[in-house]
A and B are shown apart, each in its own frame.
Chain A
């Protein structure tokens, strides 16, 4: 149990376009989902916390207008990278928790974004 999926697993897009990444909890209801970014050979950096039915909370330095997060249901959160540029190329990972973020976080497999 407690499986989190992400779609797509990898995406290549042109500079200036927008890309949407989905994060789903497959067998539990996720009150809270987290979005991380991971650069090559570096650690995970928390971008934002997404709570079902409310606005996401962004970490300092993360542009909320560039990284749009929607958590419309208890099993789905989406991250949209708007007007993507090559510097947005990265590995994006989501995690889900079913107890207001205080319970164990289950991680998705990640999405590799490459912006040309």
Chain B
């Protein structure tokens, strides 16, 4: 069975500082990894997925299979980045792309 771990429930940084939200996973096969974000009073939305290898809102994430990690990074945090961030995994080979979510990390960016 797959598992996603986000070790930090809360993360606080100041505006302009670098930020890294950690995500580790366990899965015996080849996973597809995602980061979802939920802003205050809004629905969950996709931030980025590892197969796209794109940068969204300045965020990037690299899949490290050796360390089974998919940490989310941004060099200069902005106040509008304050939100709940979920790391999620979809196991390849399943027919329906079911997502397993981590516990989430609340990011607060102070002015």
B-binding residues in A (CB < 8 A): 4, 32, 34, 42-46, 49, 51, 57, 93, 95, 97, 100-105, 107-110
Question: Total A-B residue pairs with C-beta atoms closer than 8 Å?
Answer: 54
Report the separation of the CA atoms of residues A1 and B90 in the bound assembly, to the nearest whole angstrom.
23
Query: How big is chain B's contact interface, by range?
Result: 20 to 34
In the bound complex, residues from chain B placing their C-beta under 8 Å from that of A110 are 43
Residue B86 CB within 8 A of the other chain: yes
Interface residue ranges of B55-105 to A (CB < 8 Å)? 86, 90, 94-104
CB atoms of B98 and A43 under 8 A apart: no
A-B contacts besides A44-B44, A108-B43, A109-B43, 18 pairs, CB < 8 Å: A34-B96, A34-B99, A43-B101, A43-B103, A43-B104, A44-B99, A46-B100, A49-B98, A93-B44, A101-B95, A101-B97, A102-B90, A102-B96, A102-B97, A104-B46, A105-B99, A107-B43, A109-B42
Contacts of A93 in B (CB 8 A): 43-44
Chain B residues within an 8 Å CB radius of A102: 90, 96-97
A103-B101 CB under 8 A given contacts A43-B86, A110-B43: no
For A107, give the chain B residue with the smallest CB separation.
B44
Of chain B, the residue at the smallest CB distance from A33 is B96
Q: List 30 A-B contacts (CB under 8 A).
A: A32-B96, A32-B97, A34-B98, A43-B101, A43-B102, A43-B104, A44-B44, A44-B86, A45-B101, A46-B98, A46-B99, A49-B96, A51-B96, A57-B96, A95-B44, A100-B96, A101-B94, A101-B96, A101-B98, A102-B90, A102-B96, A102-B97, A103-B97, A104-B46, A104-B49, A105-B46, A105-B97, A107-B36, A107-B43, A109-B42
